[in-house]
Chains A and B, each alone.
Chain A
Amino acid sequence: MTAQPVSPASPADIGAYCARIRQEVGRVLLGQDEVVEHALVAILARGHVLIEGVPGLGKTLLVRVLSHVLGCSHKRIQFTPDLMPSDVTGGNVFNSRTEQFEFLPGPVFTQLLLADEINRAPAKTQSALLEAMQEASVTVDGHTRALPHPFFVMATQNPVESQGTYPLPEAQLDRFMLKIGVQHPSSEVEKQILRNHLHGFDPSALEHSQLQRVVDDATLLSMQQGLQHIVVSDDLLDYVTDIVGRTRSHRSVLLGASPRGSIALAAAARARAGMFGREFVIPDDVKALAAAVLRHRIILQPDAEFEGLSADLCIDQVLSEARVPKNAA
């Protein structure tokens, strides 16, 4: 499956589609509006998402609901210490009937991939995703195969269990456009979730939940291409570079965000503008996504970590110091 030439959607259309997608997803996935918004941003900007959260918060449900609403295929890989790269990418197997090696695609050949607990697999297996995430293709035995379009990876990791895990290398972290923290829902939302389940909602049988498919592959691609027409002014580019630059000079940061971080921030801001039907990016778009884009791209000074400083706090400080363009203050 390759990308077909489609006419780009207008920002107004993108906004309308996104509103309907969020509405549909919100019918099933309660209390995770920000996660849904960020996931949509990443999908529109052709990026990938790393979700950090404890089990049971609806990560798998999110992927399944998204695939249903977006009309995409989806697969899930549960990462374990003995998972091999070929278990991800697939491999050549001998067909005794044809007496030839045939490629058996792995689960990565899908449109929405949930890489569950990605930090439980060793680096070799994690790296199998690198090419897939960056190039949207997989090379097995010297033969490169393109992945379907759109291709979106949503990886999860558990922040509380560190034993027997393999922290993601910086290079791989940088491949994720956004890192999202999933929080527990409020008690009111949790009560509504309980009501839904008591009234027969079954997350494994979404076909019975009357979820509607909002877009198809072609529409999604046209939405992605439509982002090219969203204007990012020079003032906002200055704002983005200022923010990213400040992460490099922050006293508590050992290593700031790379230029890839700037690119990701600008692209994500543009996707957010499209998501709200705007044909231009505003500072709010940049500021709303700065933490999700940058938090996994900076390394703190050891003493700052000892003092309990987090990447989010540093980014907050950076945002509170960076001057918003066209600000009257």
Chain B
Amino acid sequence: MSVLLTLLALLSFQAPSSIETTGLGPVHDILAQPEYAFCHDEGYPLTEDEARWCPEIPAEGLPLCPALASACEAPRAVLRGEGRLSARSAAEPDEAAKEPEDDDDSKRRRGEGDGPRRAQAKDDRDDALELPVLGGFARVLFWGVIVAAVVLVAWAIFRNVARNDTLPLDQAAPDEPADEEAAARDAATLAMETDVSRLLQLARTAAQQGAFGEAVDFTHAALLRRLDHEGLIRLHASRTNGEYIRELRGNRALLEPVQDALRDIDRAQFGPQPATGGVFEAVFQRVTAIVKTVGPLVVLLATVFGSSAACDSEADTSYPWATSPSGTQAVLEFIRQDCDVEAGYRTAPLRDLDPENASFQPVLVMLGDTSASEEEWDAVRRWVANGGQLIVAGGEIPPWLDVRYGYSEEVFDAGGEVAYGEPFAVVPAVDAAGGRSVLLWVEDAIELDVGPTGDPYIAMFLEGAGSITVLADDHLFTNVGLAFGTNAWSLSALVASYERDVEFVDGWVGKGSDTPADAIAHTHLTAAVVQLLVLILALYLWRGVRFGRGRDPERQTRRAFAQHAVAMGRQYHKARAASFASGLFAAWVLERLRNRFSSSAAAGLHGLSQEVARVSGRDDTEVMRLLVAAHSATETHASPGGSGEDLALIRDLGRLMRDIGEST
């Protein structure tokens, strides 16, 4: 009720026709700031809408905004794009002359009623977010590429699966290593594991099996892999723990714990005592603590540095043209200073209004380009009924209120073109110009006559514990409006009557995204992202783990000839012709050994076996037995058949060649 009384007092108050600027100290100080260029720059490009203030400038000028009169003579601005981020530039003279015509045309095209106008504006904004419409050929090409890609991936998956299913065991046999080779390869496979959690899991498994040394190795690998994944170290086979520690010198939070952990690991790996369960547990605890810390720490650092790099400390939430004549920055600043309350823009959607605490929440001021859905209006109504205070300043009028925007009869009588959505035909100052934007058919409201024609400019509706105040336009809440007449005084009285903070609501309220999914949905990219995810899934299925998880490239190693011979021997053995293969391979081995140990070869197999035993570290007798068997095989290889002994001989000779370093 105090609001009502204040409003009545405000609007019945006869403000002096001219107010000394010293009486509006905050406004003077605010508009004196250089960012409000329209008050200081005589060449400031006003938009056509802003230029409608020009005829209302008194002959003696505006003391609060001295350059505005000259700016009215300057070329008009051309807006590119829409909304807060619109770019503004001075138009060429011919463009400036052309603009009004276009504007008139557009005015004629607009329909009657303010609601449709705002709905159209909202649709235009939504259209701006739509992807450009593809032409017929481009559309066919787009879908053709998509379909081709899907077919290719599906075919590749099918081919891969089919190949694995049809691969005969016989064909896979040559790749099967001998027992010790299999063990070595398994170890190498485990060493190639790069996933930190799996490495820790492997460490735990190895520890449970009593292999504490291996468990420490896995734990060590997990630690280094995590540091490498986070970009803190550069993992390489030739690098030592000391080098990794030196790389961490710049990171004091991690240096000491990593140093301690690596010291323990070094002791377990190279120390005099083999690793025990206690040692492993100690190492494991240290490493898991670091592994859990590194990720969040890096994310935290990245966030801090990223946000500090991305955010300008001087930047605020205002949009680029907040200081323009039609902006609201000066209004917000004025409210903060003069009414000692917080003022800003609301970002949360209207449907999130909390009716429970409506009595304590800020006053909502719905500005000119605001519209709301049915669901949002329901939320607003509940909120107001519970004590919320709403000011509709040129925004979409709540549908349950019997009030519309209109124009005074004076304008009709003057022969002016009347069209809804043209509120700038008159000066909007409440007191100075009489409010020729008016409210029509105001029923069930407290009508407040403010203009010389007696047309209502402000109307107030009581709604439960709250109230809704409707203004004929939002000019009272614009920067340039503050410079005229007693508008600043009126604004101050209006806001102060609520004794609450103030939140402006414009067309962008609730347009932000709460989740990444919302953001994608708002940009209409859901279909594209889903397609991309499906493609990634298909690639994952096709390429397997290596696609999804970072791994070191596998080194392409050339097989030794002995390995090929062993593999071939298996095939011949299955064909019951192993003696042929063993005979040929034995001949090759003997020739190779004789060439290499030519000095000992002269002494026959005995001398050769001694030399081979010395180099390979094997027992003389064993080598001698092998060489004799090989020699025998060379003499009997022409005979058909073969047994397991022939295959065993091939394997033994292969191992012998490996032991003496014959890698060919």
Contact = CB atoms under 8 A, between A and B. Distances in A.
Nearest to B224: A328
B237 A323 contact: yes
Interface stretch (B266-274, B353-361, B584-592, B652-660): B266-274
Interface in B226-269: 235-243, 266-267, 269
Contacts of A287: 240, 242-243
B240 A284 contact: yes
Contacts of A324: 237-240
A170 interface: no
Interface of A: 231, 233, 235-236, 279-284, 287-288, 319-329
Nearest to A235: B270
Given A282-B241, A283-B241, A329 B236 contact: yes
Nearest to B552: A329
A281, A322, A329 — which one has the most chain B CB atoms within 10 A of its CB? A329
B220 interface: yes
A291 to B, nearest CB: 14
B238 A320 contact: yes
Given A231-B272, A280-B270, A328 B225 contact: yes
A280 B272 CA distance: 7
Given A320-B238, A323-B237, A324-B239, A282 B266 contact: yes
B224 A281 contact: no
A295 to B, nearest CB: 18
Contacts of B271: 231, 279-280
26 contacts: A231-B270, A231-B271, A233-B269, A233-B270, A279-B271, A280-B266, A280-B267, A280-B270, A282-B240, A282-B266, A282-B270, A283-B240, A284-B240, A284-B241, A284-B242, A288-B242, A320-B238, A323-B237, A326-B217, A326-B270, A327-B238, A328-B191, A328-B223, A329-B224, A329-B235, A329-B552
Nearest to A324: B240
Nearest to A321: B238
Leading 10 A-B pairs by shortest Cβ distance: A328-B221, A284-B242, A329-B237, A231-B272, A328-B224, A280-B271, A283-B240, A323-B237, A284-B240, A329-B235
B290 to A, nearest CB: 14
Nearest to B216: A326
Given A323-B237, A327-B239, 7 more contacts: A235-B269, A279-B271, A283-B270, A324-B238, A326-B270, A328-B221, A329-B552
Contacts of B552: 329
A321 B239 CA distance: 10
Contacts of B235: 328-329
Given A280-B271, A328-B220, A328-B225, A322 B238 contact: yes
A252 to B, nearest CB: 18
A286 to B, nearest CB: 9
Contacts of A284: 240-243
B195 to A, nearest CB: 12
A10 to B, nearest CB: 12
Contacts of A325: 269
A283 B237 CA distance: 12
A320 B239 CA distance: 8
Contacts of B242: 282, 284, 287-288
Interface in B496-541: none
B220 A326 contact: yes
Nearest to B221: A328
Contacts of A280: 266-267, 270-272
B220 to A, nearest CB: 6
B238 A319 contact: yes
Nearest to A233: B270
Nearest to B268: A326
A302 B240 CA distance: 32
A107 B301 CA distance: 63
B284 to A, nearest CB: 15
Contacts of A323: 237-238
A252 B239 CA distance: 23
A329 B221 CA distance: 8
A281 B270 contact: yes
A321 B236 CA distance: 10
B269 A326 contact: yes
A325 B191 CA distance: 12
Nearest to B219: A328
B206 to A, nearest CB: 14
A325 B266 CA distance: 11
Nearest to B238: A320
B378 to A, nearest CB: 61
A75 B611 CA distance: 50
A320 B236 CA distance: 9
Contacts of B237: 323-324, 327, 329
Contacts of A235: 269-270
A288 B243 CA distance: 10
A281 B217 CA distance: 17
Contacts of A319: 238
A286 B73 CA distance: 83
Contacts of B220: 326, 328
A173 to B, nearest CB: 27
Contacts of A322: 238
Interface in B338-372: none
B217 to A, nearest CB: 6
A233 B275 CA distance: 13
A324, A325, A326 — which one has the most chain B CB atoms within 10 A of its CB? A326
B533 to A, nearest CB: 32
Nearest to A328: B221
B219 to A, nearest CB: 10
Contacts of B243: 284, 287
B186 to A, nearest CB: 17
Contacts of A281: 270
A287 B235 CA distance: 16
B270 A236 contact: yes
A168 B413 CA distance: 116
B266 to A, nearest CB: 5
A279 B552 CA distance: 34
Contacts of B267: 280
A157 B267 CA distance: 39
Contacts of A329: 224, 235-237, 239, 552
A169 B228 CA distance: 46
A325 B225 CA distance: 16
A231 B239 CA distance: 21
A129 to B, nearest CB: 35
B191, B221, B238, B272 — which one has the most chain A CB atoms within 10 A of its CB? B238
Contacts of A327: 237-240
A279 B270 CA distance: 9
A324 B265 CA distance: 14
Contacts of B239: 324, 327, 329
A287 B271 CA distance: 18
B190 to A, nearest CB: 11
Contacts of A279: 271-272
A17 B271 CA distance: 21
B369 to A, nearest CB: 60
A229 to B, nearest CB: 8
Nearest to A234: B270
A314 to B, nearest CB: 14
Contacts of B236: 320, 329
Nearest to A284: B242
B221, B225, B270, B552 — which one has the most chain A CB atoms within 10 A of its CB? B270
A321 B237 CA distance: 8
Contacts of A231: 270-272
Contacts of B225: 328
B255 to A, nearest CB: 16
A323 B237 CA distance: 5
A322 B238 CA distance: 6
Contacts of A288: 242
A4 B452 CA distance: 121
A281 B237 CA distance: 18
A125 B598 CA distance: 42
A76 B566 CA distance: 65
